């Protein structure tokens, strides 16, 4: 992997074009002489690039699971397969997934083997998707509500990064109070699926209500709700109006975070949002759309579409299946979650329901 560790040989890192603003590159770049960018989630393009390099040159493929600006999901299995074929190691950023996906909140890679990971004893020799990834990074902010972050990998890999990465070495370590808070938060979320289920249920509700109002949402299978505006000034004005007139803060996302013309309001429902809050948000968005004559889904579709809001687009199935959410058939129409079951009952039901 590393320039130093590999006797001065160069190391290439591969990133998709969209994520370079967020990835904790300070961990990786000291080890790399060159970065290549592949088109987001285009594994054929990634393979083309991998083919051009001598197999003996160390390579890192860096990617995310939940891509925060569109809510789309990285192709973990396909990318790991390519990494193995071309002798690359993988660095997976699960910052927008930890706490929220997987039976224990370890992230999307854990979620991809939901049933197996639910009952898998620690240190089990069974290989799962998580084991295919060389380094997984997560944050202690966002879902865990504290600050800081971590990487997970083999003991040797972690030791190399600990010993060589300037981004890690030349910084103050986390204070004990923060670490205690993070530990409590991880321990709690590891065992409680309720917050994950409530967040996903709120997401389904919000997406369904916005679809009914013809307000354009970039289709995706995750908890991110990117509401397409398509113009930087209008997007900022809509964000300002939501704050000033409705008391709701929603960040406008403009270039260079997203391509020009794909500006959006990025909404992330939490488990703590009540029906009342959700109703207020939906009515406020509708008011902003009406007052400013913002483009509706049908209008985008009629004019060629943008950012995935296109004619004929099929909404991808959510990562959390109905069975995993414990949504019973009789209440699915109302998107109500079974909340009266104890966490362990819910988990046991999920284990048997997982396809
Ligand atoms: C994809 C991604 N990775 C890493 C980070 C950094 O996380 P933190 O702010 O906890 O350091 C962010 C921050 O938003 C992010 O979006």
- Domain presence at residue 5: no
Q: Which of 51, 59, 142, 336 is catalytic?
A: 142
Give the residues of the chain that fall short of pLDDT 70.
Answer: 1-12, 17-34, 327-355
- Is 142 a known active-site residue? yes
State whether the beta carbon of 95 lies less than 6 angstroms from ligand 1: yes
Q: How many CA atoms lie within 13 A of 146 on its CB side?
A: 22
| Residue 205 tokens, joined | 């509700």
pLDDT at position 103:
93
What is the distance in angstroms between the CA of the first residue and the CA of the last residue of the chain?
Answer: 36
Whether 35 and 178 map to the same domain: the answer is yes
pLDDT at position 335:
39
State whether the beta carbon of 94 lies less than 6 angstroms from ligand 1: no
Using the atom order of ligand 1, give the atom closest to the CA of residue 141.
10
| Residue 115 tokens, joined | 């049933």
Rounded CA-CA distance 92/111 in Å is: 14
CB contact at 8 A, 290 and 296:
no
Domain count, the chain: 2
State whether the beta carbon of 139 lies less than 6 angstroms from ligand 1: yes
pLDDT at position 345:
46
Bridge partners, 139 (sequence order): 149
| Residue 95 tokens, joined | 């910052």
Whether 174 and 243 map to the same domain: the answer is no
3-state secondary structure of 344: helix
pLDDT at position 332:
40
3-state secondary structure of 286: helix
Rounded CA-CA distance 186/155 in Å is: 21
CB contact at 8 A, 15 and 23:
yes
pLDDT at position 57:
86
Of 129, 156, 191, the residue that ends a domain is 191
| Residue 259 tokens, joined | 């391509």
pLDDT at position 32:
62
Burial class from Cβ neighbours inside 10 Å (0-12, 13-18, 19+) for residue 270 reads middle
Whether 205 and 341 map to the same domain: the answer is yes
Nearest CA to ligand 1 atom 10: 139
- Domain presence at residue 266: yes
Neighbours of 55 (CB within 10 A): 11
- Domain presence at residue 3: no
Whether 182 and 200 map to the same domain: the answer is no
pLDDT at position 191:
92
Whether 281 and 141 map to the same domain: the answer is no
State whether the beta carbon of 149 lies less than 6 angstroms from ligand 1: yes
Of 170, 191, 212, the residue that ends a domain is 191
Whether 143 and 66 map to the same domain: the answer is yes
| Residue 268 tokens, joined | 């992330």
State whether the beta carbon of 268 lies less than 6 angstroms from ligand 1: no
Q: Which of 135, 139, 151, 251 to mutate to test the pocket of ligand 1 (most atoms within 8 A of CB)?
A: 139
State whether the beta carbon of 129 lies less than 6 angstroms from ligand 1: no
Q: How many CA atoms lie within 13 A of 144 on its CB side?
A: 30
Whether 81 and 127 map to the same domain: the answer is yes
Query: Torsion angle of alpha carbons 122, 125, 126, 130, nearest 10°?
Result: 60
Of 191, 213, 241, the residue that ends a domain is 191
Q: State the pTM of this model.
A: 0.87
Using the atom order of ligand 1, give the atom closest to the CA of residue 23.
3
Whether 221 and 116 map to the same domain: the answer is no
Q: Which residue range is the domain that position 125 belongs to?
A: 12-191
Rounded CA-CA distance 241/291 in Å is: 10
pLDDT at position 299:
98
**How far apart are the CA of 22 and the centre of ligand 1, in A?**
6
């Amino acid at each position: 992997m590393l320039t130093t560790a590999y006797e001065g040989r160069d190391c290439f890192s591969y990133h998709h074009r969209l994520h370079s603003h967020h990835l904790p590159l300070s961990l990786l770049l000291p080890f790399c002489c060159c970065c290549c960018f592949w088109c987001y989630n285009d594994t054929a393009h990634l393979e083309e690039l991998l083919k051009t390099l001598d197999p003996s040159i160390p390579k890192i493929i860096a990617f995310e699971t939940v891509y925060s600006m569109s809510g789309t999901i990285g192709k973990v299995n396909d990318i790991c397969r390519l990494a193995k074929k071309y002798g690359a190691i993988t660095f997976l950023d699960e910052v927008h997934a930890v706490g929220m996906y997987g039976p224990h909140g370890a992230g999307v890679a854990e979620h991809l083997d939901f049933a197996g990971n639910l009952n898998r004893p620690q240190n089990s020799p069974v290989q799962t998707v998580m084991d295919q990834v060389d380094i997984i990074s997560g944050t202690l902010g966002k879902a865990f509500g504290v600050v800081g972050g971590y990487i997970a990998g083999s003991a040797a890999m972690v030791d190399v990064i600990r010993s060589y990465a300037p981004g890690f070495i030349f910084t103050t370590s986390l204070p004990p109070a923060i670490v205690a808070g993070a530990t409590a938060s991880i321990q709690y979320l590891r065992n409680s699926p309720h917050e994950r289920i409530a967040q996903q249920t709120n997401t389904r509700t919000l997406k369904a209500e916005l679809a009914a109002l013809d307000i354009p949402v970039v289709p995706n299978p995750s908890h991110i709700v990117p509401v397409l505006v398509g113009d930087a000034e209008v997007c900022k004005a809509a964000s300002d109006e939501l704050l000033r007139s409705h008391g709701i803060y929603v960040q406008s996302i403009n270039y260079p975070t997203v391509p020009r013309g794909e500006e959006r309001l990025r909404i992330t429902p939490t488990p703590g949002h009540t029906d009342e809050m959700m109703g207020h948000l939906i009515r406020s968005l509708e008011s902003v759309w009406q007052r400013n004559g913002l483009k509706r889904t049908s209008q985008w579709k009629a004019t060629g579409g943008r950012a995935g809001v296109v004619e004929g687009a099929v909404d991808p199935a959510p990562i959390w299946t109905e069975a995993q959410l414990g949504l019973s058939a009789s209440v699915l129409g109302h998107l109500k979650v079974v909340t009266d079951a104890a966490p362990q009952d819910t988990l046991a039901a999920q284990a048997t329901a997982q396809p």
